[in-house]
């Protein structure tokens, strides 16, 4: 089976404490909403202490054009993408020139040529590298990208695939949108990048990849759920859309969906030693714990990533995987279930074995 050779993460330099974000939101929304004090309680219940963003906090004090936002997106997505690919290659002990594929996942900006081509130019990757840019998967993107990397590596035993997930959620802030969704987004979203180096069977053996094997994956898209999560677009840029029903959907769908996947692999929940979930928010974490028969500490890494980085959309689940690997907890033979939810409304699951 394909194996993970390295997992790396990167964040931009500006740090926002949750109290600072709350003060901004209360001031910004107060002139247009009468329920600001009630809504502001969401900041206390996110489980977030701080977040990283790519611009200084005073950048949000004025309306910004989509052109300005997107230029920032391209700049920072390239920078952070280069960082995680370079760090992953160093961690795995391989030159970047030996990377055969790059899978680039993002949903918070647009670029043609796509950002993966810009990363390839900066790093001097092979001119014959296979590029796969993926847009629109939102919070499910990290898990979906890992699933695709697994499928590519399964078809090419010599493949060395760089998965790169980058999101600049902060600069999608929609000045002039006083909706509840924008208020909640202000309490949750942040910027960051994660990279995973995935090796095909033969390549994994030659570089002595030490990460877990990827055994299987399952994609699910539920019908008639397009309005649960996504973006609206206008002349200013992207306007966030997400439903308050997401935790309820987790409670209703997660056990059946995860159970079906595990059963297809001859497993059940008792055989899952580690649970790697995208922490969309504190309520989503709680919904997973209520819906699934998890061990008491199963969501520890998800909670600490949410606390330290907020919801970075697609790379967040890979931050959780990185925490798990660094903890030293996995033992030979352990199984881990990695999962995330995103627009569609959809779920991606990846089965790992150490």
Across the beta sheet with 274-277, the strand order is: 130-135, 101-106, 160-168, 191-199, 3-10, 213-221, 346-353, 335-342, 274-277
169 belongs to the catalytic site: no
Query: Do residues 318 and 87 lie in contact, with contact meaning Cβ atoms separated by under 8 Å?
Result: no
Two structure tokens written together for 75: 């700049």
Handedness of CA 319, 324, 326, 331 (dihedral sign): negative
Among 271, 257, 239, CA closest to 340: 257
Average pLDDT over residues 241-258: 76
Query: 245: pLDDT confidence band, cut at 50, 70 and 90?
Result: low
Residues recorded for the chain: 354
User: What integer best gives the mean pLDDT of the chain?
Assistant: 92
In DSSP terms, 160 is beta-bridged to 199
pLDDT at 290: 86
CA 258/CA 251 separation, integer angstroms? 12
User: Is 233's pLDDT higher than 80?
Assistant: no
> Percent of the chain having pLDDT more than 70?
96
Which run of H or of E encompasses 258?
Answer: helix 246-264
User: Is 178's pLDDT higher than 70?
Assistant: yes
pLDDT at 248: 75
Residue pLDDT, tens place only, 98-157: 999 999 999 999 999 999 999 999 999 999 999 999 999 999 999 999 999 999 999 999
Query: 241: pLDDT confidence band, cut at 50, 70 and 90?
Result: low
Residue pLDDT, tens place only, 11-60: 999 999 999 999 988 888 887 788 888 888 888 888 999 999 999 999 99
Query: 302: pLDDT confidence band, cut at 50, 70 and 90?
Result: very high
Which among 139, 165, 169, 258 is annotated as catalytic? 139
pLDDT at 177: 81
Print burial letters for 204-242: b (CB count within 10 Å at least 16), e (below 16): beebebebbbbebbbebeeeebeebbbbeeeebbbbbbb
CA 72/CA 350 separation, integer angstroms? 32
> Percent of the chain having pLDDT more than 90?
70
Taken in order of first residue, the domains within the chain and their CATH numbers are: 3-206 (3.40.47.10), 213-353 (3.40.47.10)
Beta pairing class for 14-17 and 50-53: antiparallel
Average pLDDT over residues 188-212: 96
Question: Within 93-140, where are the H helices?
Answer: 115-123
**More reliable by pLDDT, 208 or 31:** 208
pLDDT at 255: 87
């Amino acid at each position: 089976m394909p194996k993970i050779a390295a997992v790396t993460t990167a964040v931009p330099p500006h740090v926002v404490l949750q109290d600072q974000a709350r003060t901004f939101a209360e001031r910004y929304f107060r002139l247009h909403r009468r329920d600001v004090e009630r809504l502001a309680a969401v900041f206390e219940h996110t489980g977030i202490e701080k977040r990283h963003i790519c611009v200084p906090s005073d950048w949000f004090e004025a309306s910004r054009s989509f052109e300005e936002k997107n230029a920032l997106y391209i700049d920072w997505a390239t920078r952070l993408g280069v960082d995680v690919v370079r760090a992953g290659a160093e961690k795995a002990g391989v030159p970047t020139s030996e990377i055969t594929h790059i899978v680039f996942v993002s949903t918070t900006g647009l670029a043609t040529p796509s950002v993966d081509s810009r990363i390839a130019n900066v790093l001097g990757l092979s001119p014959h590298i296979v590029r796969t840019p993926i847009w629109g998967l939102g919070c499910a993107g990290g898990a979906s990208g890992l699933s695709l990397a697994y499928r590519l590596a399964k078809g090419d035993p010599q493949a060395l695939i760089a998965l790169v997930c980058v999101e600049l959620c902060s600069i999608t802030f929609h000045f002039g949108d006083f909706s509840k969704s924008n208020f909640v987004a202000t309490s949750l979203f942040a910027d960051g990048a994660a990279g995973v180096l995935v090796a095909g069977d033969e390549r994994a053996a030659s570089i002595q990849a030490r990460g877990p094997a990827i055994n299987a994956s399952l994609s699910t898209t539920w019908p008639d759920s397009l309005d649960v999560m996504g973006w609206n677009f206008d002349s200013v840029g992207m306007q966030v859309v997400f439903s308050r029903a997401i935790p309820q959907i987790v409670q209703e769908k997660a056990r059946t969906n995860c159970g079906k996947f595990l059963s297809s692999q001859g497993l059940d929940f008792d055989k899952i030693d580690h649970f790697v979930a995208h922490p969309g928010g504190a309520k989503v974490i709680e919904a997973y714990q209520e819906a699934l028969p998890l061990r008491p500490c199963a969501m520890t890494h998800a909670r600490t990533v949410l606390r330290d980085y907020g919801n970075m959309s697609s790379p967040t689940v890979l931050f959780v995987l990185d925490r798990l690997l660094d903890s030293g907890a996995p033992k030979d033979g352990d199984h881990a279930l990695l999962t995330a939810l995103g627009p569609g409304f959809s779920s991606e699951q990846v089965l790992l074995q150490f």
